[in-house]
Amino acid sequence: MDPLSLTTKISAPDIPPGPVVPAHRLSKSRFLAGLQCHKRLYFEIHSPELATPPTPDRRAIMDMGTDVGVLAREFFPGGVLVAETHRQIPAALVRTAELVADPTVTTIFEGAFVWQGILVRVDAIERLDATRWRLIEVKATSKVKATHLDDLAIQSAVLEGAGLVVDGCYLMHLNTQYVFLGGELNLDEMFALDNMTEEVLARRVLVHQQLQEMWDVLKQPTFPDIAPDGHCSQPYECPFWNHCTKDKSPRWVLYLPGVSKVQRMLLQEGIETIDEIPAHVQLTDIQQHVKANVEWISPVLRARLQSVRYPVHHLDFETFMPAIPVFPYTRPYRPIPFQWSNHIEYEDGTVLHQQFLCVDGRDPREELAHKLLDSLGETGSVCVYSEYERFLLFALGDFLPHLKPALSKVVRRLWDLLAVIQQHYYHPEFEGSFSIKNVLPALVPKLAYDDLTIQNGAVAAVMYQKMVFSETDLMERARIAKALEEYCGRDTWAMVELRRVLMERVGGRYL
């Protein structure tokens, strides 16, 4: 049997016949891309090579979604997986049709359906009776988002177009309040199943028109003329952003930091660059510094820098956030610290480095906390670069009540270099961002991150998980451990150097 005949032999009773099927095939992800931007859809079909490949951390997020989807199948005992991959679509369609026709099959995972040139692979459909099915989409998110409704709308349209009766559309997602107590995961508590049928029906009425518009766009000889703006990151970061903005000035108005409403309003008024923003437009302090584009030093920067107490500890944690809890007394997406670095600067200028990295798959928190308290001692400021360390210290104290008083004392010694810089210093090369990845090259050019194997915290989390949960080659594990130590150590050494350079900027003695 020609698998595609499924789509032509079975009529769709409650939806219009659908647009003319062109030579291309849509998928639900392309449909969602098309809802975000027709130009994105056009590129995905005709010029996918223009996309920026996903970063390792983006790939890790996608893998986490896959893991959650696989785990969710345990919710439906007796369900049957259509194992054929995206390279075996005809076989997947045949297998799905067989399972649909078999009344003993209660649930189908990854079923493949085509209607009017649109292919969907469905996370789960559950048989309610001889003809009716329940559609379930699994997301590794903590709540329902508007884009999930569009996702369910196109899937239900295709299922009904392919001849199934969809009697209920559900979204299965993670319950971030679930606390894993160890042993077996309690899936009933870890997953939430929300009935979204009414909301999906409201979106379904739009699907036919939306598809017609997409097919019309795809038939054109060139891509639609759509300018990049705020829509490019909602609901997803568009992979064609770098291509669409390659000719934009570094002073493009959309690069102004802060809420995108202001930038969009300026663009609508025809203002292309930050330098053209009229004086009457109300800007935040940081936006004004970006507009002025000159170095700015607050009169109290020196006093703020001198407010540290020696020895000054420079502390940074690395964490990972598993969607599926792996350690007892954690929740989905709860950050777990696995590493810290501490550069200790004494009043005589001596700098000592101490660090901790958990290199195996056990819960790192208790040992990490004990060694951290030893390293930080009882005196001196604890310099950090964000509020994140404060949050993690509180979280560690909640998990380890016997260490809570000592950890609370550390919290009282925190001294946030990020807040000092945000409030008291600006350099044009920050380009509106106070991320240490922007601040460091501007102030300490010799000390960037581009010589490191690991260059950001998201990749550090990915590499740590690889090292402790999947990598079996001892040499590779050692290489990852070294790269993690170099990365975390660079973050804390960067703080030492930033304080030194800033002190020089205000004409003060460093030590």
3-state secondary structure of 80: strand
Give the footprint of ligand SF4 on residues 296-355 (CB under 6 A).
Answer: none
Alpha helical stretches, state H, 143-196: 146-161, 187-190
**45 is an interface residue for ligand SF4 by CB under 6 A:** no
* Rounded distance between C-alpha atoms, residue 310 and residue 344, angstroms: 9
Kindly tell me which residue out of 24, 27, 241, 302 binds ligand SF4, with binding defined by CB under 6 A.
241
The least CB distance from residue 205 to ligand SF4, in Å, is 25
3-state secondary structure of 453: coil
3-class DSSP string for 10-33? CCCCCCCCCCCCCCCCEEHHHHHH
Instruction: Give whichever of 231 and 251 is closer to ligand SF4, judged by the CB atom.
Output: 231
Strand partners, 345: 312, 351
Residues 6 or more apart whose Cβ sits within 8 Å of residue 52: 239, 240, 241, 242, 243
The least CB distance from residue 151 to ligand SF4, in Å, is 18
Stretch of residues binding ligand SF4 (CB under 6 A), selected from 38-46, 174-182, 258-266, 330-338? 38-46
Number of residues that bind ligand SF4 (CB under 6 A): 13
Long-range (24+ apart) CB contacts under 8 A made by 1-7 are 1/94, 1/97, 3/89, 3/90, 3/91, 3/93, 3/94, 3/97, 3/114, 4/90, 4/93, 4/114, 6/93, 6/97, 6/113, 6/114, 6/162, 6/163, 7/114, 7/115, 7/116, 7/161, 7/162
Give the footprint of ligand SF4 on residues 243-272 (CB under 6 A).
Answer: 244
Stretch of residues binding ligand SF4 (CB under 6 A), selected from 183-191, 236-244, 463-471, 482-490? 236-244
Kindly tell me which residue out of 232, 417, 468, 502 binds ligand SF4, with binding defined by CB under 6 A.
232
Kindly tell me which residue out of 30, 40, 314, 490 binds ligand SF4, with binding defined by CB under 6 A.
40
With contact defined as beta carbons under 8 Å apart, do 301 and 323 qualify? no
Stretch of residues binding ligand SF4 (CB under 6 A), selected from 110-118, 227-235, 360-368, 423-431? 227-235
The least CB distance from residue 217 to ligand SF4, in Å, is 12
The least CB distance from residue 232 to ligand SF4, in Å, is 3
Stretch of residues binding ligand SF4 (CB under 6 A), selected from 108-116, 237-245, 297-305, 379-387? 237-245
Kindly tell me which residue out of 93, 94, 157, 238 binds ligand SF4, with binding defined by CB under 6 A.
238
Q: Is the dihedral of CA 360, 450, 333, 316 positive or negative?
A: positive
* Rounded distance between C-alpha atoms, residue 101 and residue 119, angstroms: 19
The least CB distance from residue 253 to ligand SF4, in Å, is 15
The least CB distance from residue 246 to ligand SF4, in Å, is 10
Stretch of residues binding ligand SF4 (CB under 6 A), selected from 31-39, 57-65, 442-450, 469-477? 31-39
The least CB distance from residue 58 to ligand SF4, in Å, is 15
Q: Which of 354, 380, 365, 351 is nearest to 319 (CA)?
A: 365
Give the orientation angle of helix 365-376 with respect to helix 388-399, to 10 degrees.
120
Instruction: Give whichever of 241 and 449 is closer to ligand SF4, judged by the CB atom.
Output: 241
Binding site for ligand SF4 (CB under 6 A): 36-37, 39-40, 43, 226, 228, 231-232, 238, 240-241, 244
